[in-house]
Each structure stands twice: as C-alpha cells, then as structure tokens.
Chain A
Amino acid sequence: MDVLRFALRKLLAGVPLILGVTLLSFTLMVHFGPDRTFELLGKNPTTEQIAELRHQLGYDQPFLLRYGQYLRELLTLDFGHSDATGEKVASLLARSIPVSLALVLPGFVLGNLLGVALALLAASCRGRWPDRLIMAAAVFGMSISFLVVIFVFQIWFCTSHGLDLFPVRGWGMADVPDYLRHVTVPTLAVVFVALGYNTRFYRAVIVEEMERDHVRTARAFGSPPLRLFCRDILKNCAIPIITRITFTIPAIVIGGALLLETSFGIPGAGKVTYEAIISGDQPVLKAVVGLTAMLFVAALLVADILYRVVDPRVSLE
C-alpha cells in the first residue's frame, strides 16, 4: 500500500515535469524548428498556396491552442498522422520502437553485465596488472568514436574485405537465427563502445564500496570473498547501478541508435526521430518528446522503488 501511495505521489509530482518539458520543447519546435511548409511546397508556389499549406499544417493557430491540442494528444496518446509519410504516429512508433529495442537491448544488457564483471575484477585486483589492463582497455574503447567502431566492425564482419559472416544491411526477426544474423554486429559495436564507460563507472562505485568500514570489518572477520562481494559490496553498489540503467532505458526506447540504424539499414525509432527532427514533422516530434518525458517519470518511479527493494533503509517518504 505504501508503495502504491508512493507511486501515485511520484506520478503526480511528474506532471509538472512533463508539462515543463513539453512546453519548452513545443516552444522550441514552433519557433525554432524547421518550418515544414517549405518542405511540402511544390516547385513554383504562390503566396496563397503557402498560406493554404500553413493552414493545413495548423501553423496559423494561436500557440496556446496548439499547445492545448498537444496536451490533449498526450493524454489520449493519439498524435494523429505524420506530416511526412501520412502514417499514424502511433503505428509508426509501434512499428519502430520494438525494432530499436531488439537492436539495442542485447548490447545494453551485455555491456552492463560485462561492465559490472570487469569492474569487479578490476576493483578486486586494484592497482595490479589486471586492473591496469582493464582500465587501459576501457580508455582505449572510450576514445574510439562510435562511428569508427561501426565502420570497422562492418568491414570486418560483414564484407568481403573481412570475414563476410553477416549482412551489411537489413533487418529481420523472422526467427532466432535470422535475428542473430542481423543483431550480432550492432551488438558487438554497442558493447565495444559501452564497455569502457560502464567498466570505469562501475569500478569507481565498487572501489568506493570496498573501502567502507563494514566491508573491511567483514573481511577481517574472515567473510568468504564471494559472499563479501555479493552481500556486502555488490548489493550496496546497486543504487548507482540502478540509477544508471533505469535512466538509460528511455533513451534506448525512443532514441534507438541512430548511427547503427543508418549504417546497417535498420528501420528503428532512432531514424524515425532523426528524420522527424530534420524535417520538422511535428506530430512525430510531439509524440517522441511527450513519450520520452513520460518514460523518464516512469524511470524515476521505478528507480525509487528499486532503491527501496535493494536497500530497505531508503524511505519511501
């Protein structure tokens, strides 16, 4: 019951956040975003046609009316049709978000799991060669641009210059082998890039935890290393780990991975969002901004509840 009350309170507290984010982004969209009128015009337009098109796009409506309409759309989750393709925004996102999730999640999960594992190893060998090697590799991974990693991995794994094991372009989830063939190289690229950041972050958290008094005391009392790691260190590290993971999820869901999608020809949400931004497709942008804000509120809530789960000392009050 406490948790439910807490959740409701957090959700209510999230409303001003959503309003603030949507108002700010809608203002930017309307006043500084691309004017789609001039994308949609024919080659030889007249002033009347420009006015007609602006009317069709609703650009001639007062700002507050348009913002009110936006909030109504957000409440009903009906954002109408894309200005570019004519497709319903809901179906556009319903089609592309699962692809982005399927594309990025394996790399995200592996990157975090491996990051935690390597961080534990590095932290437990702090100052010795495994630690130095892992940290050096992490810096190496962090210092290479994602674009370069994609390019190199694509050449190496997918083309006749290299191993030629996977397709360069395309996407499929018809069955597991099909999915694996398409997702492997993007996943390797994500892991390669994320691993450095994750390992350094988690190592710092773990090292800090390892220096705490209770850990030193437990170690002095002869607590077995595995138990020490799992019960006294890892559990106490969970809060920053949860924070990092939960706050990355909205970006994965909505943002997808634009570079991966562009390079591998994958029809995910990243491309949809990017094209909406550069073309000024406001119905899609409004949906993306609104959903991202809502997901962040949800992520905040989930994180807070998980804090309580892993550490009962955390008060829901």
Chain B
Amino acid sequence: MERAQCLELIYPEIEDKLVVTIMGACAQELYDLGHKENFFYLQHAMGLASSIGLGLATHLPDEKIFVLDGDGSVLMNLGTLTTLARYRPKNLVHIIFDNGSLLSTGGFDSHTTSGITDLAAIARGAGIEHVVSVDGPMEFGEAFVEASEREDLSVIVAHVEAVGPDNYGMDFALPENAFRFKRCIAERRAASGS
C-alpha cells in the first residue's frame, strides 16, 4: 500500500475538513490532489503536526480535525501521544503513515523499520483507546470511516511503502499558507456562528 493511494481514497472525505500534514512527501501528495484553504502543511518542525491538531481540536469543537503524520515525525515527539491521551480531543483523527523510513530526508531507515518499533502499541500504551494498525487499502478505508464517524480520539497507523512524489513544489510561500489557513478557519467560524 502506498500513502498516495490512501490519500486519494480519503481525499473526498477530507477536502472540506481541517487537515494538518507533516513535511515533504506527505504534504506534496495531498497538495497534488488539489490544495484547499483548509489544509496546513507543516514543512518543518518535525513532530508538531499532532500538537497543532490538539490546539485546533481543543478550540474548535465543531470541526473534525485530521492530522496526517509519519513515523519519523512521531518518533521525534512521542510525548504527543501521551498529551493526546490525557486531553482526549473527541474531534481529532491522527493518521500515522508508517513507511519505516525517513523518506523525505534521504530514505534512511527509521526505528519502525521491519517492525522493530510498533507505533500502534506505543499509542495504546500512551493511553489512547481507539488505535488500529492497518496494512491494506481496504482495511485503511474501513478504519478511516470508523474514525471519521467516531466522536472520540482515533489513531490509525497505516503501514505504507517508502515511496514519494517525483516533483516537489507549491505555489505559495509558507507564511501565506498559515495566513490563508487562519482566515479560512475564521470564515468557517463566522459562517457557522461558532
């Protein structure tokens, strides 16, 4: 299973949701499916995508927040799983694409390579109740639908191949993404009266 395939599968469901991605391949693959103003791509500061998700979810209870994370990023901020478990935002879906590789920074093996470290077990051990680990697109799709409908924190660890896009680039500067994402949220709040 490839991450791009997973993203294509869920794109129709997340295109109108608040989405935070990690850097590199994951960000680019979502962008290539079609950028939306409600997408924020964290192109650096590895590990903090889920922390941004927690800040959003806490203050936007009427929104469903999707964080598209990776094994390398989560390994840099394992504490985030314990913070998520403690505050248990009911409107956050944390998807960790585990390719066992630091793909966007040279393709070196990460600690999850060959199943050495089990991120789903870590998430459960952190105290998160709804954690699934999936290997194929059907399983991923089912887990995604369940997580989307569940009114509780969900973590999906999706094992994917270590492949990414051939070309990288977005047509806006990084702060512009932040400004537009913030404005988009303000407009959604105004429209819904929340």
Binding partners A and B = no
Q: Which residues of B contact A (CB under 8 A)?
A: none
